[in-house]
Amino acid sequence: MRPGGRHMACNALWCARAVSSLALFSVLVNVFGWGQTITSTIVGQVNDPTGAGVPEARVTAKNAETGIATEGATDSSGAYSIPQLQPGIYDITVGKTGFVTHALTGIRVLSSQTVRVDMKLDLGAMQQTVSVLGEVALINTDTQTISSSISTRVMGDLPKSSQSIDALIGLVPGAATTGGNAMIAGSGYWGGNDWNLNGVSIQDASNGRGAGAYGLGLITLPSTNALQEFKIASGALNAEFRNTTGITMVLKQGTNRFHGEAYGYLENKNLNANAFLNNARGQLRPDYDRDQYGGLIGGPIKKNKLFFFADYFHFRQVSPTIVSLIFPSAAMRQGDFSALYAQGTQLYNPSSGTPYPGNIIDPSSFDLRAKALLSYLPLPNLSTNAGGLPNGGPNYQAAVGNRFPKSNLETRIDWQISEKDTVNGFFRFSYSNNWFQAAGNTPPNYGNNANFRDKDWAGSITETHSFGATAINEFRIAYRNYIQARQGQNFDLKPWTLVPAVPVQNTGGLPTVTFSGYTGLTDWGAGIDFPTYDVEFSNNFTKIHGRHTFKAGILETGYKFSVPGSDGRLTIQLGSYNGTFGSTGAWTGGKGVPGLAPSQGIAFADFLLGDLSSTNYATLVNSTLLSCRDWEGYAQDTWQATPRLTINYGLRYMYQSPWQERDRNYSPLDFSNSKLVLLQNSATPTAPPAAYASLLSVYPFETSQQAGWSRDYYIPNRTNWGPRFGFAWRPFGGRKAVLRGGYGMFYNFIGSELGTLEMTFNPPFRIGPTFSTNLPGTPPADGYRPDLTFANPFPAGGGAPASHPLVYETPRDYRNPRQQQWTLTLEQQFGQDWSARASYVGSQVQHLFWYAFNINQPAVQQPNVILQNQRPFQPWANINYNASGGLQNFGQMQLELIKRFSRGLSLQVEYNWTRSLDDVPVAGGLNNPWCFMCDYGNSDSVPRQRLAFNYVYELPFGAKRRWLNRKGVTDAVLGGWELAGITTYVTGAPFSLSFNVPSNIVGWWGGRPDAVSATGLYDSKNGGSHDVVSGVPWFNPAAFAPPQKWAYGNAPRNNVYGPGSENWDVSLMKMFLFKGEEGLRLQLRTDWFDAFNHFNLGNPGSTIGDTRDGGLPVATAGRIFGGSGSRVIQLALRLIF
């Protein structure tokens, strides 16, 4: 863009009226960034004693903490607007010749907020000044936004176990779920939330969530001690905002006074209650330690001019996770399966077809590789399910230790260069080296441990220039680099020495071993190094013209996402590069024996004999570099149509270029002929340099030219226009009551994990073959012997391609998810400090992603035909498909009650009633990929009701308090005490059921069961019980049944609700004052998380057994064997100045 281009666009903007200003989109340029502004606006009406507007009055907003002043003026009707104000406390002064100057002090302005300050001027000399303490309305009087801001004091006083913002997300309006992918007013899909720090995006480019959101949630983000404000806004946001929900964190800033804090928080097992599951099973309290400490300081470098702020935070945790798992019994490990024989299941010798007498297998027949792997499998340590039956109750429990060390450093600079120019910037660095375990999936200590290393750099510089009282421009440049690396505990184990057919790799680890009905083995030893680079620029221009405040921005996002290849660095792989070996019980069930009615068999016996049902291995990848750009622009107008009515309207445009691999080293699938497509402008496929050339003769290929596609593959979507509209009507004038609402259309950013990255795993760029047994439904007369074994796991030969590989596909015309949202809110302030709000939020999301679901399944299943032969697209196995065709309908009622902090008490109560329906399973894929609407049901993990309230209460004793108002010993002992807390009640979340396909049935795809309408779903429920050892009955398994063989079940998705939960976190603290309320202070506090030691039941077992034809029941179906909740006590000291 030419140097003058942006100003030309801005001049056109302020000269135009609202609708014509939207022509600004024609000058969109290549400027990085999709962050938003965090600055705010003060608006108001200035009247004379008769109620008439006072024109041309000078209005000054001065930051009381930094001394920086911004000027504005009233228009012909007396209305004024002062935009682009940094969050802080302001003094407002209004003056005009012939009137007494009026000053309001102590006006608190939060980020991205519109604050109304109306004033009445008295006749008199301008030299006279009337100064009063200002009061900001509790309610939002000028925008349609539904938002909640949590201030420094409340963040500091509320109990927070990890000093991260996790605990705060659940306190905001509309929060149905929390965490890195929180659903807030219907926003919780890929890229639905906009996470930003000081207006700079800190999204995870790979998945659209908050940066580094894993493990301990959002601990990789700044600690709450460093934040001046935490805000979440939703509800048909203005065109300035990209997503339906904006999650904003604002770093503290320096002021004209030095201020700071040093703090330390301590938790350990001696303070905590033992876990309920440990007590139930007679086990001791496990080790637990958590230390958090840090400090911060801010102040002037030059008063009224240059300010700094810096903080350091360190977090260290050694904590257990209680896991309950199912392992074969000690007798079974020696070949004694008589417990299964007692239930009527006969096992057969797969090699000879003869039955094992009494189900006793001679250990001398065990496979040597199985014996070696058996040493990594723990023995049961519980008396329950003593026989070790598959799919039985847990017979093993352990406290799995985790270690989380992490450090943060943040700095911020604010510089008032002149009356017209200010500069502010920040830099942050976060480092963690976490050792943790994937609890609940695989045995602890044997491959379950992984060392995660995260580094996150981010910084920005923002320059704000004033062109006078009515025009302001803000320009920002930012940079972010995020790297995550992972390494497992068994990287020294070389699986190719154990199973020679496994390809040699650059790191080692346990292979993945699964045997149906039990917990298997796996390893986090796969090394991953994911560097992500963002460079961001943004520009926002504001022009005030009469009653209109025009605002426009031109934006672009630039991303690079790198996966290093076989250069000696850590790598990503397809499947398990150490090999995957699965057993189902088909062989010991006698399925290969002719003329026999097969039994269920047992997968663990298959494993011991070395007989397998499926195998897989993966190879090193080549280097991959993905990039993406996202051009956006907006224009909006805030129109104070009347003294009682404000209207906001605007338009936003988004164009995200598809994620593209630098060398086009990916191969989409052409469904018209089942060929993989090489992106080449030629009539004949040739092997690219990064490909395995031999694969071109193994699988069907064509070029993009032959397919009639461009070499860039994707068809870009350039139609993402998002209109926005909102109103705020003050029916009685003033600031006590408002009716507001709005409508907006929003488009979600698509992360790199959705699409191109997966297609780089396809042949010929990867070799990751999956082998399945070809065991027929009816064995031949001479029997069918195991064709997959540990001795020969990859029949085509080690390192040779499989006949039926797994492939990934993303359609050429995939779309950004589009969300339409509408809101209506009634809000009323009562007295000086109370307000109430009732809101309805509705939305519909189209083009949601079905992520990596297997589309290569038949619409109609064929009895006794092996699965591969039923697949509609040959020669492929699973085709993991990413499609943007999902739908969600969302409705939510929100009720809110707030008491502003006064007279020693603040209170916030939030209640949500939510109804969310979609056809997009987050996990597990579609039940039937040829019937998308068959999966339309309750959204995953979204509870129906949620109640959360938080409070801060200064106990009324001691100096300057209601009772015992005296200093000295009385105040030292009884004064300065404070009580704070967070209480949450949540109803149960929905989940789906599945059923086990018996291993003696060939060609059945399975999925969800059938619903039996005549049986009560919760007839077996016993929610008052906490007997998680025997299992708490929750739903009635008889309400479901396996469907007819070779059919998909008809049970609705997510039609069962689990138990609800409740939690009380309470803090008690005392403040010791050494130099007054704003001087040196020491706070001693204790935080009690789950203060009443309440145990919340987990979800019940959701797998239904098929007991037909000798199949085994699933003992855990409908019963609860786990849960969470035990009291944790934290002690802390905070030295504040």
**What are 819-876's pLDDT values in tens digits?**
999 999 999 999 888 999 999 999 999 998 888 889 999 988 888 888 899 999 999 9
Residue at token pair 């004209």? 256
- Three-class DSSP category at 773: coil
pLDDT of residue 286: 79
pLDDT of residue 606: 96
Using an 8 Å Cβ cutoff, are 525 and 486 in contact? Answer: no
Alpha helices by DSSP H, listed for 633-785, are 704-707, 756-759
Helix (H) or strand (E) holding 970: helix 969-974
pLDDT of residue 191: 67
pLDDT of residue 841: 94
- Three-class DSSP category at 221: coil
**How many Å apart are CA 417 and CA 414, to the nearest integer?**
9
Positions of the chain with pLDDT lower than 50, given as ranges: 1-35, 213-216, 439-440, 566-574
- Within 8 A by CB and 6+ apart from 386, the residues are 329, 380, 395
Using an 8 Å Cβ cutoff, are 1049 and 1056 in contact? Answer: no
Task: For the chain, report the end-to-end CA distance as a whole number of angstroms.
Answer: 48
pLDDT of residue 574: 44
- Within 8 A by CB and 6+ apart from 719, the residues are none
Taking the complete model, does pTM exceed 0.75, yes or no?
A: yes
pLDDT of residue 447: 60
CATH number for region 40-133:
2.60.40.1120
pLDDT of residue 947: 95
The radius of gyration of the chain from alpha carbons, rounded to an integer in Å, stands at 32
pLDDT of residue 1089: 94
- Within 8 A by CB and 6+ apart from 411, the residues are 308, 309, 310, 311, 426, 427, 428
pLDDT of residue 702: 97
pLDDT of residue 421: 92
Q: Could you tell me how many residues make up the chain? A: 1137
> Token pair for residue 501?
């057919």
pLDDT of residue 136: 67
pLDDT of residue 246: 81
- Three-class DSSP category at 1110: helix
Burial class of 479 by CB neighbour count within 10 A (0 to 12, 13 to 18, 19+): middle
